[in-house]
Chains A and B, each alone.
Chain A
Amino acid sequence: MSKDVILDVRNLKVDIPVSAGMLHPVRGISFSVARGETLCIVGESGCGKSLTSLALMGLLPKTATRTADKLDFLGQDIRDLKERQMAALRGVNMAMIFQEPMTSLNPAYTIGNQLIEVYRRHIDPGKAEARERAIFLLEKVGISAAASRLSQYPHQLSGGLRQRVMIAMALMCGPDVIIADEPTTALDVTIQAQILHLLADLQKEFQMGMILITHDLGIVARVADKVQVMYAGSTVEEGPCQAVFDSPLHPYTSGLLRCIPVPGKTQRGSRLGSVPGIVPNLVGDLHGCMFRNRCDHAEAACEALAGDATQLSDGHAFTCRMTPDEAAQAARQTAREVA
């Protein structure tokens, strides 16, 4: 398997000093994304998905610190790049779509202006070419009368249209990887699936790597090549989409997947199942399995869990004290309880 890996991340950590001490919202995340591949990250709110994507982009809040054993982008170590060097990658090689389309566009400028500026900055300073590209992409993202939209202001567009504009903007310079952080959470339910499908189609068409953060499991089942399940800043389970959906191993994953989605069959818009209990505080020294206070299978051993993942043959891995067989059995039990 000769995959063209674009982004390779090992042991990514983010720390933020807060009044109560040091917050560890991202605690050692690893993954890779290849060209044409879609990685979906799922997990409850607050588990560190947004900070993970901001850390990749170099857009963390000023107070946050980022460390990693490896952070390779297009074969280049980007850990120690200067802000100016990161800015040269952002928008061109890596692009991001945010959760809040209503506030992510500058209210003072037309969408044409905002689409064109990124192209003129990175690719070609000429106006005409950038304008053509903008019209081409607005049509690509399904916006009619694209040329006349260029002179509209963000406040004249609906949330769905604005998010389409954001997608077009991310594609202006033909990025190698696109990071979409819950791009539809703020939108009307009726258009969420449309936008997500649009993203998936464009990713295929332009052969980009994509990191998609979403709560829509139906979409994950359809578009993901790989799935990463995050809990409290760590990965609890990861693997090929099929494997994770067919045989979830970590109790948290089977909790999330309680609606038993099947790739290709799960209903659109199916949400993550809810797991009872609350996320632990991530301030200070942390040890053991962070899920143990909410887990039906918790034992004393969970407190001492080192956090090394158990690897299965097909790239499927999970972090739990249970053996794969025990875990599979526990997961089947969860599924049966629900049925």
Chain B
Amino acid sequence: MSSLADHGGPIGAVSDGAATIEELGGSRRATPLDRVQRSLHAHPALGPFLVLACSSLIFYALNGRFLASENVSLMLQQVAVIAALGVGQTLIILTAGIDLSIGAAMILAQLFMAQLAANDHWAALPALLLGCVVGIGTGALNGTLVTRFRVPPFIATLGTLSILTSSGLLYSQGQTTQASQMPGLLNWTGNLVKIGPFNLINGVLVVFVLYLAVNYLLTQTRWGRHVYAVGDDLEAARLAGIRTRLVLFSVYAFAGLIVGIAAWVSIGYTGAASPNNAVDANLQSITAVVIGGTSLFGGRGGVFGTLFGALIVVVFTSGLTLANVNDLYQPIAEGVLVIAAVGVDQWIRRVKA
């Protein structure tokens, strides 16, 4: 957002000039600000990308180690879990919904994977698949509440947040399972892999593939179109002959599958499955989506914006630490970014024809 604010001054002055011309009866011309508004409107991921690029450069200028390959590798590993959950959250927010339970669902799925494999001696693949089924189940539960019982998504997922959190604690009896107790497949996502100068974990690659796949679904398939149409104007989509309930339900269920994948990545990244893992993940995934330019009103945005949004948060955390700024400024920066992103979204939505 800082880049936009920087340009705000001079551009604002130009548009003021245009306004006076208008008052004198001159014809309305597109000001540079209008053009910025229009291109952000057409490309919702553009704003977050610019913020990411500018903030990275600034942090690099403050401390050269910021863009060193070790630090970039570390940031990519740190972002993986939230970025994965962000994909599911993006789908739901695109339908003008929200999922407050997504992190709790991930913890539950990962506890199932870990305990079935470590305590109940299931083979790795069935344990992994059952964890994914648990994820899909949580999504289907939210989807049923939203589509069949017409509970607003905020309330439905607030309820399932409590239910899933406690279920996880009950099921695991508060115990943490170390990755070393699990079969190799379950913590395969934590294995190191070297890509060029970067030392990554397999989980990062899984998440990257996830982004490519969901981006394809959203932009190149019928289902993706219908997701946008349903989020944009539910009644119009229904009148145009879209099975809106089915689309909505499928979005929640599919987000549940992504929860399962995120659980797998999380086991690898943290090297354990614990009911106290990633308790902030619910809100962090929403933060990533919102900073990523997807509109809370639905119908506008996409997954790559969310990737940038998740990266921005990690970049600020790392960059501020490397710049020797007190840790407490990091949440402040994050809060400012979220509010600024929603403000920019409101402004973009008023785009003129």
Is B a genuine binding partner of A? no
